Amino acid sequence: MTCIIEVNSIEEPHVYQIIQDKICDHFGYTLTVSIGEIEDRVDKVYQSFYNAKENIHIGRALFGDGHILEHEDMIIYKLLWQSHKYGTADCVYRRKLEKLKEYDKKKDTEYYGTLEAYIANDFNMKKTSRKLYIHYNTMKQRMNTIKEMIEFDYSDMNKMLLMALSLKFDQMDKSIQQDNHKR
């Protein structure tokens, strides 16, 4: 079921949470909300609606039901989804990630998770070490090991972007596989 709700201000995201809660409480359903772009022309409303529907499809596949998705936040996922859909997502960096995962599995280490956390924490080792509850020197040591293991250069931002995108593709694959197992 699709429903369009006009809210006077996008500055009031709590409205969507209230709607989600009420529907869940009264009907027992989860609700995924997609906030489209605000359009100033009537002929552009359809595009905003289409984008919102597409965001729901992608958002549910990646994050499950019951989320609030804003168009601006979903743009990167839409780009990734298109690349994934048409098979352009495979690259050398994904193979490097597989190498890390295999090593972690064999040696019971956490290099993949460390790299994942490093990227999630804006490539900041200090911040990542705090999030992982490890000493900064341990973090440095892990990053050096990862660098050697997958022959990766952290100083090249283009390579870092490709690694971050590869990690997102990996996460997408995992979400899609989990979704397929539910069906």
- pLDDT of 183 strictly over 70: no
Q: Residue 61: its pLDDT value, please?
A: 81
Cα 120 from Cα 99, distance rounded (Å): 20
Give the model confidence (pLDDT) of 17-48 as tens digits. 788 788 888 888 888 888 878 778 888 888 88
Q: Residue 1: its pLDDT value, please?
A: 56
- CA angle at residue 135 from 129 to 139, to 5 degrees? 55
What is the CB neighbour count within 10 angstroms for residue 115?
Answer: 23
| Token digits of residue 21 | 């809660």
Identify the band that residue 6 occupies on the pLDDT scale cut at 50, 70 and 90.
low
Residue given tokens 């994050």 in the structure block:
63
Rg, the chain, Cα only = 20
Three-class SS state of 180: helix
Three-class SS state of 71: helix
- pLDDT of 152 strictly over 70: yes
Give the model confidence (pLDDT) of 89-116 as tens digits. 567 678 888 999 999 999 999 999 999 9
Length reported for the chain: 183
Query: To the nearest whole number, what is the mean pLDDT of the chain?
Result: 83
Look up the pTM and report it.
0.65
